[in-house]
Amino acid sequence: MSTREITLKVLRYRPEVDSKPFFQTYEKVPCEEEWVVLDALNYIKDEIDRTLSFRWSCHMFVCGSCGMVINGEPKLSCKAFLRDYGKKITVEPLANFPIERDLVVVIDDFVEKLLSVKPWVIPKVKKSLDDGAYNQTPAQLKSFKQYSMCINCLLCYSACPQYGLDNSFVGPASLALAHRYNMDSRDVGRKAREDVVASAEGIWECSFVGACSQVCPKDVDPAGAIQQIKITSAIDYVMSMVPGGK
């Protein structure tokens, strides 16, 4: 099995001992050809430096927990193959979030914003378990399935220049998930989400740079979702001005 040595330059920050973040370089890290950046970090953690901290879980780009900035681009480290990089790789925590420790960031702000858009089905009539499931057709599922693929990896927030400038912005993933439930045939909660989604801090704060969709590992296209919500919201506003409109 072929191996090669790489150099990883990793941003470190331990709040109990460090006054500010700094880069630490790990040289001659032996890596197998099919490894991803996460494998190299795990090798460092296991064999070189036990103090290095980072998040990961599934190693299958499903859980979304191993998001980092790799050579300047927000990526899932379990999807960033070493063969796609040179012998020197720079790894940093996700941008636009406070650093908790090393490559671990504080995600409380995202969690609050996600909850604010009510990312769950709000049915017209609640059913008990004995009443069975809320059924829908394959066509109804297809209308929102793309937006349901979000894994909350936060790469879109790290890439979003608007969130970087003003973190009151609800942000790409939260708004895309709001759109996912608004499009769901079983849901009637659009009005309940509107006070957040259609606010100045919601869809109208988005300047449509599109970086969020470019870095999304699941092709959710949050930028496209936000623009679709803008159209719906604009139609709602115009209709509200028309006599008899809703």
Q: Which domains does the chain have, with CATH numbers?
A: 3-105 (3.10.20.30), 108-241 (1.10.1060.10)
pLDDT on residue 22: 98
- 64, 47 contact by CB (below 8 A): no
pLDDT bracket for residue 246 (50, 70, 90): low
Calculate mean pLDDT across residues 35-41: 98
- Rounded mean pLDDT, 134-148: 96
Q: What mean pLDDT is predicted for residues 17-21?
A: 95
pTM greater than the 0.85 cutoff: yes
How does strand 88-92 pair with strand 73-76? Answer: unpaired
242 vs 213 pLDDT, higher one: 213
CA distance from start to end of the chain: 66
Q: Which of 154, 162, 156 is nearest to 206 (CA)?
A: 162
147-203 tens-digit pLDDT: 999 999 999 999 999 999 999 999 999 999 999 999 999 999 999 999 999 999 999
Is residue 86 within 8 Å of residue 147, measured between CB atoms?
Answer: no
pLDDT tens digits along 97-116? 999 999 999 999 999 999 99
What confidence tier does 239 reach under pLDDT thresholds 50, 70, 90?
A: confident
pLDDT category at 85 given cuts 50, 70, 90 is very high
pLDDT band at 3; cut points 50, 70, 90: confident
Beta-strand pair 3-12/88-92: parallel
Reduce the DSSP state of residue 203 to 3 states and report it.
helix
In the chain the beta strands, taken as DSSP E runs, fall at 3-12, 22-32, 67-70, 73-76, 88-92, 99-101, 104-105
Please give the residue that has the higher pLDDT: either 45 or 239: 45
